[in-house]
Amino acid sequence: MKATLAPPSSLISLPRHKVSSLRSPSLLLQSQRPSSALMTTTASRGSVAVTAAATSSVEALREGIAEFYNETSGLWEEIWGDHMHHGFYDPDSSVQLSDSGHREAQIRMIEESLRFAGVTEEEKKIKRVVDVGCGIGGSSRYIASQFGAECIGITLSPVQAKRANDLATAQSLSHKVSFQVADALEQPFEDGIFDLVWSMESGEHMPDKAKFVKELVRVAAPGGRIVIVTWCHRNLSQGEEALQPWEQNLLDRICKTFYLPAWCSTSDHVDLLQSLSLQDIKCADWSENVAPFWPAVIRTALTWKGLVSLLRSGMKSIKGALTMPLMIEGYKKGVIKFGIITCQKPL
């Protein structure tokens, strides 16, 4: 496919506090923040210019994400398989589900997300799909099998792209799906070519949410659907400018390990989509449906096989495992929300 540069991001009009929560360099990974003197932004005629220092922090974040997934994907696949995302459970389901129960819950997450977005199996209109932040390609291979669609996945991790392509070949799907290293914020695709733009748990890594969303919209075909399933912080109440310090502190600790910039809320995503005049914008909070997931991941990490694999995998995996209880705490205290946001690009 011809490579075209993404259009420059222009800031869309949002309330002032939302602009700063979506665009300021405070979005950058805490441990990679340069000195505060360099981290100033300048607002001019509604646009926020990010300094050179912030740009290099974005670069450092990108590298950190790539290294994190290069190191941890093999371990995840060994224990959990090829879907690197939460499972979807009935709110009252038992947390003692078998391993296959968790895998089914992960497939169900894909199915529920498609259903929520109005994409059904009978629908044959889904011919081309981009899987933005594809991991090792679990979603792409599933969607290609279900819809016969052609899927292209992008990831920052060369290890993931290679493994995703190898799995596609092993499953005789390489004529339908392919994977490459590319940045979601500057996708190497022409405008308007994908019937389905799919981002399963990658949005939380994006340092510039407005640019991310604009890029998803740019590559979507007219009438195409966009699905964003992502970690969010709670919606701010009316008049509230920011999270409470203890809430921010909790998220910052998670950011350091999982290579995340600052978070935003589900309603921030909705505002972004509204500002781009998208249609049929819908969102939901699925936090209750994912509640059994992290306790299950922790249980598998504490098995003999899990511990040995963790130690073999390296420090990033070990730090990741130690951070998992913070995810549970965040959900329990209502700071972290598991959000789905979908919409359709006008014809």
Smallest distance from the beta carbon of 69 to ligand SAH, in angstroms? 5
Which residues are CB-contacts of 276 (< 8 A; sequence separation ≥ 6)? 12, 213, 214, 217
Under the binding rule (CB under 6 A), the answer on residue 32 touching ligand SAH is: no
DSSP 265: B
CA distances from 145 to 86, 116, 140, 221, 315 (A): 21, 19, 8, 21, 36
**Where does this chain touch ligand SAH (CB under 6 A) — which range of 21-29, 31-39, 151-159, 328-336?**
151-159
| CB atoms closer than 10 angstroms to residue 180 | 15
Nearer to ligand SAH, 140 or 344 (CB): 140
d(CA 128, CA 134): 15
Q: Does 157 bind ligand SAH (CB under 6 A)?
A: yes
Does residue 262 touch ligand SAH according to CB under 6 A? no
CB of 201 to ligand SAH, least distance (A): 4
Residue 197 lies near ligand SAH (rule: CB under 6 A): no
> Does 64 contact ligand SAH by CB under 6 A?
no
Binding residue for ligand SAH, selected from 12, 134, 151, 168, defined by CB under 6 A? 134
**Which one of 22-30, 31-39, 79-87, 302-310 is the stretch in contact with ligand SAH (CB under 6 A)?**
79-87
Is the distance from CB of 291 to CB of 331 less than 8 angstroms? yes
Please compute Rg for the chain using Cα positions: 19
150 in contact with ligand SAH (CB under 6 A): no
Token pair in block for residue 259: 């290579």
Stretch that binds ligand SAH, among 9-17, 115-123, 156-164, 305-313 (CB under 6 A): 156-164
Task: Yes or no: say if 298 and 320 are a contact pair by the CB < 8 Å rule.
Answer: no
What residues have CB less than 8 Å from 189, skipping those under 6 apart? 1, 3, 4, 130, 152, 219
Residue (207 or 306) nearer to ligand SAH, CB:
207
If binding is defined by CB under 6 A, does position 155 make contact with ligand SAH? yes
Among 183, 252, 285, 329, contact with ligand SAH (rule: CB under 6 A): 183
# of chain residues touching ligand SAH (CB under 6 A): 23
Nearest to 234 by CA among 259, 262, 266: 266
Site for ligand SAH in 82-101 (CB under 6 A): 83-85
The single residue listed with the structure tokens 């947390």 is 95
Binding residues (CB under 6 A) for ligand SAH: these are: 65, 69, 83-85, 133-135, 138-139, 154-157, 160, 183-185, 200-202, 205-206
